[in-house]
Amino acid sequence: MTHATAKLHELGQSLWLDNITRELLDSGQLQTYIDDYSVTGLTSNPSIFDKAIAGGGYDDGISEKAATGIDREALFFELALEDLRRAADLFAPIHERTGGVDGWASLEVSPLLAYDTQSTVRAVTSLHAQAERDNLFIKIPGTAQGLPAIEEAIFAGVPVNVTLLFSPDHYRAAVDAYMRGVERRVEAGLDPAVGSVASVFMSRWDVAVSDKMPHELKNTLALAIGLKTYQAYREQMDSQRWQKLESSGARMQRLLWASTGTKDPSAPEDLYLHCLGAPFTINTIPEGTLHAFHDHGHVGTPMPSDGGDADKTLTAHKAAGIDLDALAAKLQNDGAAAFVKSWNDLMSLIDKQSAALRA
């Protein structure tokens, strides 16, 4: 029996785990996901580490590092990088086999730097150097304030996972920042092959309009946004601007589907996997969704490059009173605020754990 995860991988889509904990590494479960579930990368964020640290699995590391007197932010990044180096090493054979296309792990820069381009660039450069792993992305939000930092980080040769994208326009802005950074590297005579992915969040669209839509439109908005974003992705890949860069040795920024766990209990568990399959894309999957999809998921037909019937669905949502541009901006702003809250919660937890362990 060929599991759905293997079939989706055969379609050309990379499956990345949306989680990391020390227990996943110590137990060998991450290696099992690689061997048996076709997982070829992973992402992390402050919320994931907040839950893992609250579980007590990092007490020894916190106690040891807190005793050295380092500040809480530096302590966190040391803990996170210990795990991410191990994960990156597990994915290293995939990274090598695919010529750097796949086999990545991701670490998020502090969201408190979001409005300071130069501080963000210094932080991502320092973190990537500290990690000492070629297959580690540093995550930078694709907000208006984050776009200059993305360009500068790419120009500096730091691989970037552009996060917090919600719409085709958000994606276009992110890929434009990426290509500007690559173009500057070409002009400077530097290697233009700097890895990057653009992470577009799905399920939050459907959650945002769930109580405003008639039944026939329920859980259709995110997929329509996904179709239009994939259309924009394919247009960028076919553009003269990109073809020129590719001929210089550049590597395309891959499209990544994020927030793909189904939030509506009445909807299929694999809603955002079944309908978002496409070659040269990535789907980051929460553990529960990964297990469900592996056991009884179904792979749909590949996404059409022309947007399919997305315009019809989006028109229906507009007719129902949804301002798609305003909602995209709200989702991104809310996401950025949630990142800051998660970060502050994480820092407070490290303070609390450090104090308790000292006591």
What string of DSSP letters covers 17-35? Answer: ES---HHHHHTTHHHHHHH
* CATH, residue 107: 3.20.20.70
Beta-carbon-side half-sphere exposure of residue 264 (alpha carbons within 13 Å): 21
Catalytically active residues, by annotation = 139
Residue in the block written with tokens 């010529």: 99
Angle between helices 46-54 and 72-97 (to 10 degrees): 110
pLDDT for 273 equals 94
pLDDT for 250 equals 97
| Mean pLDDT per 10-residue interval, the chain, length 359 residues | 92 97 96 98 92 86 87 93 97 97 96 88 96 97 95 98 98 98 98 98 96 90 98 98 97 97 90 95 96 93 96 96 97 94 93 80
Element (H, E) at 256: strand 254-258
Cβ atoms of 197 and 137 within 8 Å: the answer is yes
Cβ atoms of 274 and 297 within 8 Å: the answer is yes
SS (H, E, C) 289-351: HHHHHHHHCCCCCCCCCCCCCHHHHHHHHHHCCCCHHHHHHHHHHHHHHHHHHHHHHHHHHHH
C-alpha to C-alpha distance for 124 and 122, rounded to whole angstroms: 6
C-alpha to C-alpha distance for 268 and 284, rounded to whole angstroms: 17
pLDDT for 359 equals 67
pLDDT for 69 equals 86
User: Computed from CA positions of residues 42, 335, 112, 156, in that sequence, does the dihedral angle turn out positive or negative?
Assistant: positive
- 349 lies in which domain range? 4-358
Q: How many domains does the chain have?
A: 1
253 alpha carbon, distance to own chain's centre: 12
Selection from 9, 39, 1, 15 nearest residue 260 by Cα: 15
To the question of pTM greater than 0.85 for the whole model, the response is: yes
pLDDT for 290 equals 96
pLDDT for 126 equals 96
